[in-house]
Structure 1
Amino acid sequence: MAEAGTALSAGLKNRHVTMISIAGVIGAGLFVGSSGAIASAGPAVLIAYAIAGLLVVFVMRMLGEMAAANPDSGSFSTYADRAIGPWAGFTVGWLYWWFWVLVIPAEATAAAKILNAWIPALDQWVWALVITLVLTVTNLFSVANYGEFEFWFAMLKVVAIIGFIAIGLLAVLGLLPGSGVSGVSHLFDTGGFMPNGFGAVIAAVLLTMFSFMGTEIVTIAAAESDNPAEKIGRATRSVIWRISLFYLASILLVVAIVPWNDPALAKDGSYQSALDIIGLPGAKAIVDIVVLVAVASCLNSALYTASRMMYSLGRRRQAPSGVMRTTGNGVPRVAVLVSTAVGFLAVIANYAAPDQVFTALVATSGAVALLVYLVIAISQLRLRGKLEQSGTPMPVRMWAHPYLTWVVIVAIVGILGYMATREGSRFELLMTALLAVIVIVVGVLTTRNRPVPSGVAVDELDDAGTYGRDRV
């Protein structure tokens, strides 16, 4: 066995990265959580998904430009380091780590509820502990284990979504006998297409935006594969059809089949409500299995992503040096264990004090997705010129640069401003802002006059005095 060191392996295969990019981060938000957005905006939720999806397509294109030119395990955190300053890379890296650490208890609890319903002899907290420990162990062995689990998790999700689309389409077209579905009349027959006005659509954008969070993980995972630039380029080019098929097509069928104000949406979720109306036998059991796979996949990705971001921060001396120690298989063991430990403390908080503690913790990550997207856009705006001047090959280029980049920046600032005026999201924005200010202050103090890490050549320094890529 190879000796422990500080380098990651290139253990992800082409099929692993492909499936991670296609469906690796589709979680319960699509299968169940989308019902909240539907209840808010009605059939016009399709506009909300289109707006959020378009924004994510642009952000992924910008990130793909930077990542394909210089693949890095720290992804946008490293690019922010070079484009804006070390404090920015520090801030967005730790905020992103915190976001995924809090995904661990959320997904573990969702999985535990399903397993507890099947086998009530074990308490929910026991199931949450078991599933977290199992996926932690798989992440500790090798990155190939993470890739293999994600390959099959993602494959099952793709099959489930395509199966739902096929059944829903047959029902809407009247080709499914006894389905109880009559065309697409529900798009207009219950208060019209936009029953709650355009303001409700904008509110739904906030709900849908966070269901796309994680699309960027492929740029982190690809750094642990052969030919990462090629894989990143392919993933960012395919994001349009992925969003169109998995999100827009499936939600279109849901709102065509289920009246937007049907109480079953809030009770059973979007997919199960649609399948119940169609009359599919065992709809609840089928959806429970799919949701269990989806949350296990997101939990698996959360452990992986949090540990790699912490590892990258360690490589840039923005985290304790111990977190970048790797096993003989190139796994950042300390980073995995620390991320799991913090995540499981949040699991305990969720069961011990869900209203007093856990709600506040979750609120601190409420606007992190938007801050990450904003930093990606600003970084791309500033790095594009440097990439072109240096002659670095750019397999992926942002469309209509810099105009679309500025459109994204203005849109994100506008959404953040809307959050400040909306009662339901103001608390999340304030808590995230408070955490961000604290992290920024720590980042400025920590990265001020920092030395260049050993092993980084002087010619890798950019114009701002920061250093180049993390070697993986």
Structure 2
Amino acid sequence: MSETTLQEQRQIQDGNLGYKQELKRVLTFKDILIFGIVFLNPIAPFALYGVINHKTGGHMALAYLIGMIAMIFTAYSYGKMAGAFPVAGSSYTYVERVINPKIGSITGWMMFLDYVLLPLQINIVAAIYANALIPSIPNWIWVIVFSVFIAVVNYLGIQATAKVDTIVAIFSFACLITFVAFAVHAVNGGAGTGTLFYSKAIYNSSTATFSCIVSGVGTAALSFLGFDAVTTLAEESVNPSKDIGRAAIMTCLIGGALFILQAYIGALVWPDYTTYPNVDSAFIFIIGKVGGQLLVVFCSVAFIVALIAGGVAAQAGAARLLYGMGRDNVIPKKIFAHLDPKHKTPIYNIIIMSIISIVGAWILSLETASDLVCFGAFIGFMLVNLSVLIHFYIKKRERTGIKFISNLVFPMLGFAICFYIWINMSKVSKIVGFTWMAIGIIYVMVKSSSSKNELQDT
């Protein structure tokens, strides 16, 4: 299809959706896919390795495999909705258009916890690792440095973000390949299992229990948070109807494959998960075992860089979620729907989130921030799955043949899996999450009431 034809189709589509196209459509499928992979962080298991292995009784690779399959159903739902509504706003837009404007507003309010607090969470983790490498520089300085860098990259525009993502993706893959090469060499030399084919690294009947593996799947699924962020780039995609859905699913598949590989290789090097010197930093010991301190430093730097790039991607997604809500005047339009004249980026949103990242790092613990991110994310996931069912299966009556599976079975499976993970979250996350939801409901009701009064006065 020619560029002219694509442009004409996009103009018609944007007009049908009721929006004037203001963001720059410059992103290719490759750009969007790299954005999603960097958001996930290809070497995310470095941080969660010991925790998930202890939860699952040494079945981290299996937990990631199940988690990947589970999240693909939701990724498919995001892809379906992005094709139907290729505009910024992601889950907020889908629910607002398909289910109900008020429920859409509340969805956006809840996803605020995910998209806006995720950069904060990433900054906290990156600062912890940076401080471990250079103890003379305190965490709070690292938080400020990372926050400013992330804001500047996002201010320069989505093309600058895409370039940073590409560089970081290459660096992350270089780190992963180096680690795998050292690990394979060590195992072939007799370290760990002494063999590259070890079935107990996937499933060990002596330690496997259903409850342990399922609880680990919930934690492993958190590593996939971010695949949905590619849908926030719909208005900057050259061909959103085709590329966004593919990118969401491919992000899950590629991310899952990388996570499983790291979990499996780690189990070969260190088969007994009960003997980690420190559970929280277990993977650091595995890296040190195969490559010494030099490889530990290299991988730690790569992890920090990947985290910062994830922060760039997270903030970019959050800025566009707020832009979508601001454009619909769910939140103040003059602030949140404002675009920088030169770079066409939602500059006020970027500044607001940078302030939240800096101040929030002093107020919230990593555990609390993580709980809030997950609570908001999985509510959004559940409602997007329902949106597919309502839009395609009920409203459009696409029910025959394969569409029965794609429009009913897949979204229901996605909803059920997300609901199970969500309902089993910590008590603290539920208390704070439901409190935030209550505030959002009150805000939406007050906003709706004031809008009606304004109409009556005119």
TM-score, normalised by the number of residues in structure 1: 0.81
The 2-side partners of 1:219 and 1:116 are apart by 34
Identify the residue that residue 319 of structure 1 maps to in structure 2: 331
SS at match of 2:57: helix
Which residue in the other structure is 1:278 paired with? Answer: 290
Letter in 1 for 2:436: L
**Per-residue deviation, 1:128:** 1.3
1:410-425 alignment, distance < 5 Å: 410-419=416-425, 425=426
CA-to-aligned-CA distance 1:228-269 (integer Å, 9 cap, x gap): 223214314524641442112221221232221122351533
Q: Which residue number in structure 2 is paired with residue 66 of structure 1? A: 81
Once structures 1 and 2 are overlaid, which stretch shifts more, 8-17 or 336-345?
Answer: 8-17
Question: CA RMSD, aligned part only?
Answer: 3.1
Residue 104 of structure 1 is matched in structure 2 by 119
Task: Please give the secondary structure, in 2, of the residue aligned with 1:238.
Answer: helix
Separation of aligned partners in 2, 1:398 and 1:16:
32
Match of 1:297 in 2: 309
Q: Deviations over 1:367-407 (max 9, x none)?
A: 222212111111111111478579xxxxx979543122222
Going from structure 1 to structure 2, the CA distance change for 1:360 and 1:171 (only over 3 Å counts) comes to closer
- The question of whether the paired residues in 1 share the 8 Å contact of 2:48 and 2:280 is answered with no
1:47 aligns with 2:62: yes
Counterpart for residue 384 of structure 1: 392
Match of 1:231 in 2: 243
* Cα distance change, pair 15–415 in 1 and its aligned pair in 2 (3 A): closer
Shift of 1:71: 1.1
Counterpart of 1:384 in structure 2: which amino acid?
F
Mapping of residues 19-418 of structure 1, within 5 Å: 19-26=34-41, 29-172=44-187, 174=188, 177=189, 179=191, 181-183=193-195, 188=200, 192-193=204-205, 195=207, 197-239=209-251, 241-258=253-270, 259-264=272-277, 266-270=279-283, 272-280=284-292, 282-322=294-334, 323-328=336-341, 329-350=343-364, 354=365, 360=368, 362-385=370-393, 388=396, 399-418=405-424
Cα offsets for 1:260-305 (capped at 9, x unmatched): 11223515332x3333333456231022112111210121122212
1:318-355 CA-to-partner distances (Å, cap 9, x unmatched) read 110121110122101111111211222102324xxx4x
Residues 108 and 415 (structure 1 numbering): CA distance in 2 closer, same or farther, change over 3 Å? closer
Q: Which runs of 5+ in 1 are unaligned?
A: 391-395, 420-424, 452-472
What is the aligned partner in structure 1 of residue 12 from structure 2?
none
Residue pair 1:104, 1:344 contacting (<8 A) in 2 also: no
Percent identity reads: 19
How far the C-alpha of 1:54 sits from its partner, in A, is 1.2
- Structure 1 residues 296 and 360 mapped into 2: Cα distance closer, same or farther (>3 Å)? closer
Aligned mates of 1:319, 1:250 — CA distance in 2? 42
C-alpha distance in 1 between matches for 2:191 and 2:184: 11
Equivalent residue of 2:227, what SS?
coil
The count of residues paired between Structure 1 and Structure 2 equals 427
Amino acid at match of 2:377: A
Q: Distance in 2 between matches of 1:237 and 1:118?
A: 35
User: For residues 49 and 78 of structure 1, what CA distance do their matches in structure 2 show?
Assistant: 30
Paired letter, 1:45: M
Q: Normalising by the residue count of structure 2, what TM-score does the alignment of the two structures yield?
A: 0.83
Q: Secondary structure at the match of 1:160?
A: helix
Cα distance, 1:70 vs structure 2? 2.6
Alpha-carbon contact 1:99-1:368 (below 8 Å) kept: yes
Q: Secondary structure at the residue paired with 2:92?
A: helix
Structure 2 unaligned runs (5+)? Answer: 1-19, 453-458
